[in-house]
């Protein structure tokens, strides 16, 4: 865990060859956590092609992170690559400061990084595992939002990654699914808290997405059938998630806050 992109067969599509920008985030600056691979890489590529500079936040997957940064720079935007542990509040504060120092502003925070692990029995989930999952998935979003908001002007936005698991939890992903429900609630509450500052807070709820987390954290039998339980009958590619993040971060979404946008292949979130 959390896996490497180069080890995946088939290799995920992050929009490297397909995403076309139209200036929707021109002149903006963004932090994207978990931007080394998966959804985070796809979002970083899309943001850059829409005109934003991107801080690529990641844990320790250095080669993957540099690959993301290369695509950002090829789009003509600045890329800052920063490894570190978002479970640590001091690191989260430093991450924001690095972005503001490098870009001169901060308009978008994408809280995307996540930890998940599969357990068949409750007794196999340790207190340490529960704590790591909550600190990575929930505490980090609080730490980063708290650090980022003082630097954000009206029109800025925070986009969190929740999951179909927020409404339809997978029993074998108990800790992960519980955090994703918390993120949906955090998004709604924070949106209300920041509305008077003109800062919007929304979330994207992915269904099954083909990212390094899947083969590195799930049994082989689950991986083989991954995504087949959706009406579309397949998992999404990361590139298919990026447009939702672009929309929520853009000025076109100026009246959208507190929303959760499902990108689930047809699985309902009611």
Q: Which residues are catalytic?
A: 176
Q: Is 268 exposed, middle or buried (0-12, 13-18, 19+ CB in 10 A)?
A: exposed
Query: What is the Cα gyration radius of the chain?
Result: 17
| 167: DSSP letter | T
Distance CA 95, CA 1 (A): 23
Instruction: Confirm if 52 and 22 have CB atoms less than 8 A apart.
Output: no
Grouping H, G, I as helix, E, B as strand and the rest as coil, residue 172 is helix
Report the candidate in 207, 241, 230 with the shortest Cα–Cα distance to residue 32: 241
Q: Is 173 exposed, middle or buried (0-12, 13-18, 19+ CB in 10 A)?
A: buried
Instruction: Confirm if 80 and 106 have CB atoms less than 8 A apart.
Output: no
Cis peptide before 2 (omega within 30 of 0): yes
């Amino acid at each position: 865990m959390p896996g490497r992109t180069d080890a995946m067969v088939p290799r995920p599509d992050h929009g490297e060859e397909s995403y076309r920008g139209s200036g929707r985030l021109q002149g903006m600056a963004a932090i994207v956590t978990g931007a080394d691979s998966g959804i985070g890489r796809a979002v970083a590529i899309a943001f850059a092609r829409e005109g934003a500079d991107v801080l690529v936040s990641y844990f320790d997957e250095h080669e993957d992170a540099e690959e993301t940064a290369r695509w950002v720079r090829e789009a003509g935007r600045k890329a800052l690559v920063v490894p570190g542990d978002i479970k640590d509040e001091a690191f989260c504060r430093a991450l924001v400061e690095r972005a503001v120092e490098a870009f001169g502003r901060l308009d978008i925070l994408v809280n995307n990084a996540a930890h998940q692990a599969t357990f068949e029995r409750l007794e196999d989930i340790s207190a340490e595992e529960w704590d790591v999952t909550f600190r990575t998935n929930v505490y980090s979003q609080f730490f980063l939002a708290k650090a980022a908001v003082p630097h954000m002007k009206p029109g800025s936005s925070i986009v969190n990654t929740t999951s179909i698991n927020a409404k339809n939890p997978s029993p074998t992903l108990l800790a992960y699914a519980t955090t994703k429900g918390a993120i949906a609630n955090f998004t709604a509450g924070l949106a209300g808290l920041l509305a008077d500052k003109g800062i919007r807070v929304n979330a994207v709820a992915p269904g099954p997405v083909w990212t390094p987390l899947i083969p590195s954290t799930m049994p082989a039998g689950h991986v083989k059938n991954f995504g087949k339980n959706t009406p579309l009958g397949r998992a999404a590619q990361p590139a298919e998630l990026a447009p939702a993040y672009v929309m929520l971060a853009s000025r076109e979404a100026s009246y959208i806050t507190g929303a959760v946008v499902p990108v689930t292949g047809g699985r309902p979130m009611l």
